[in-house]
Amino acid sequence: MSNCAVVGINWGDEGKGRMVDLIAKDYDIVIRYQGGNNAGHTIVNEYGKFALHLIPSGIFSEGVVNVLGNGVVIDLEDLCREIDNLRAHGIRITPENLKISERATIVFPFHRALDGLEEARLKDQKYGSTLRGIAPVYSDKYQKKTVMLGELLYPEHLKAHLASILEWKNLIIHNVYGAEPYKLEDMLAWCEEFGGKLRPFLCDVPKYLYEAERAGKNIMFEAQLGALRDIDFGIFPYTSSSSSIAGYACVGAGMPGSHVDRTVGIVKAYSTCVGEGPFTAEWFGEEAENLREKGGEYGASTGRPRRVGPIDLVATRYGVQMQGATEVALTKLDVLSDYDEIEVCTAYTLNCKKIDTFPTTALLNECKPVLETVKGWHTDISKCRKKKDLPKEALDYIKYLENACECKIKYVSVGPEREAYVKL
Ligand code: GDP
């Protein structure tokens, strides 16, 4: 039995889904342990191209059981849509291969609305929210004013609980934001329409996982966002509202007494970042546009253009440390083909002093990148499948990154397709 976490080292969109899809066949269970439908994991395999928002990336692997843990927040309507869409593409989704924790939290339509109302209030100070209700629902959870999916099984209890939550929530919606209050009967009808379809998937996940562990099953945890979006260790407040780090994986999955044996940290060969907040080594203009186009850097959930730049080794080393990564998978190396020289950010300057540790956001805003270049290559590497196929300069770049982030690079991904990778 071994537990493995696949996590992002940077700002997200590193290619976690693609790596889970590749590695999942070695595991019996794949669990999403945090976040909601606010990010997308793009996967290209024999079934086609998919952007998974909530469903774990093990859904394509025969015999793998996929789990949405208690740390996840679920928009019932959106999850139903995602299941329907996958089924329409021939993917089998049944209560045997998808289990949803009774302890996962419901994202209601009023959470989505509150996201939009708050961003509108903030105007040019906005956080760059994906408007899926994630920050409102996580903050409500910590106020103990949310509904668990398991409550869908007990209609009378649900009605009373939701009524008390709505009474409070409508005070904010109406009195603070001046918006239309939400009606209890509408929310109950919404729960019935979409929650009804999800009821068969509900499961006592902690019990299921306890038994699975005792039976020697191999379990994988799939993170939704990168280390720099973690609520505690990321670029707060431009983070997500949950813990994306591997340290939270067992808690958010539903096996809090367990531990992670192996942590695969996904690092992109260059940097990207969606939304607002400090992004020290950012490129602008034509240079940025070219990289964005080459890498297809547009959000999988929102279609938003991603900010781009060279790999940031200060942030990457920090991400590796915060995740406790035992190995790194380097993705999108093919995108860097055709540069004479590849730029890397090796340190920051802060108040005219050079620093190589990742500071908190207040200082990060003042940091400037220290840039170096390493030799590039002009060969198309997307067909490389063995280490010996890679050009010397690409191998040198990998070695350079490995030394800088102090962690062994075990996989190099050279294309979006499942088989487009080199194992080192
Ligand atoms: P995730 O949220 O971390 O799973 O990442 P996203 O799906 O948001 O973004 C990764 C994007 O890069 C997707 O469009 C993938 O299909 C694509 N991708 C992943 N690995 C590679 C790679 O090695 N090369 C190229 N060219 N594209 C890749």
Q: If you search the block for the tokens 């690409």, which residue do you land on?
A: 394
pLDDT of residue 1: 62
Q: Residue 131: which pLDDT band, with cuts at 50, 70 and 90?
A: confident
Question: Does the CB atom of residue 57 touch ligand 1 within 6 A?
Answer: no
Instruction: Output the average pLDDT for the chain.
Output: 95
The 10s digit of each residue's pLDDT in 339-362 is 999 999 999 999 999 999 999 999
According to DSSP, the residues that pair with 8 across neighbouring strands are 226, 266
CA of 417 to the centre of ligand 1 (A): 9
Q: If you search the block for the tokens 């063995």, which residue do you land on?
A: 386
Q: Is the pLDDT of residue 301 over 70?
A: no
Closest Cα to atom 17 of ligand 1:
416
pLDDT winner (highest mean) among 9-23, 28-42, 189-203: 189-203
266 CA: nearest ligand 1 atom: 3
User: In one letter, which amino acid is 148?
Assistant: M
Q: Residue 303: which pLDDT band, with cuts at 50, 70 and 90?
A: confident
Q: How far is CA 76 from the centre of its chain?
A: 19
Question: Does the CB atom of residue 334 touch ligand 1 within 6 A?
Answer: yes
Q: Please tell me which residue, 57 or 153, carries the higher pLDDT value.
A: 153
Ligand 1 test: best mutation among 20, 44, 302, 331, most atoms within 8 Å of CB?
331
The 10s digit of each residue's pLDDT in 265-287 is 999 999 999 888 999 999 999 99
Q: If you search the block for the tokens 């959470």, which residue do you land on?
A: 111
Q: Is the pLDDT of residue 123 over 90?
A: no
The 10s digit of each residue's pLDDT in 64-91 is 999 999 999 999 999 999 999 999 999 9
Q: Is the pLDDT of residue 92 over 80?
A: yes
Closest Cα to atom 6 of ligand 1:
13
CA of 415 to the centre of ligand 1 (A): 8
- Residues taking part in catalysis: 13, 41
The 10s digit of each residue's pLDDT in 109-120 is 999 999 999 988
The two three-digit tokens of residue 365, written as one number: 């805003």
Q: How far apart are CA 186 and CA 297, in angstroms?
A: 38
Q: Please tell me which residue, 51 or 98, carries the higher pLDDT value.
A: 98
pLDDT of residue 170: 97
Q: Is the pLDDT of residue 377 over 90?
A: yes
Q: Residue 38: which pLDDT band, with cuts at 50, 70 and 90?
A: confident
Question: Does the CB atom of residue 38 touch ligand 1 within 6 A?
Answer: no
420 CA: nearest ligand 1 atom: 23
Mean per-residue pLDDT for 385-399? Answer: 97
According to DSSP, the residues that pair with 222 across neighbouring strands are 6, 32
Using the CB atoms, write b or e for 363-382: b if 16+ within 10 Å: ebeebebbeeeeebbeeebe
Q: Residue 289: which pLDDT band, with cuts at 50, 70 and 90?
A: very high
Q: Is the pLDDT of residue 363 over 80?
A: yes
Q: Is the pLDDT of residue 300 over 70?
A: no
Which of left, alpha, beta for 80 (phi over 0: left; psi -120 to 50: alpha)? alpha
User: In one letter, which amino acid is 259?
Assistant: H
Cα-Cα-Cα-Cα torsion 350, 356, 362, 365, nearest 10 degrees, comes to 60
Let me know how long the chain is: 424
Mean per-residue pLDDT for 113-140? Answer: 89
Specify the range with the lowest mean pLDDT, choosing from 130-134, 198-202, 260-264: 130-134
pLDDT of residue 266: 97
**Contact by Cβ (8 Å): 212, 29:** yes
The 10s digit of each residue's pLDDT in 307-342 is 999 999 999 999 999 999 999 999 999 999 999 999
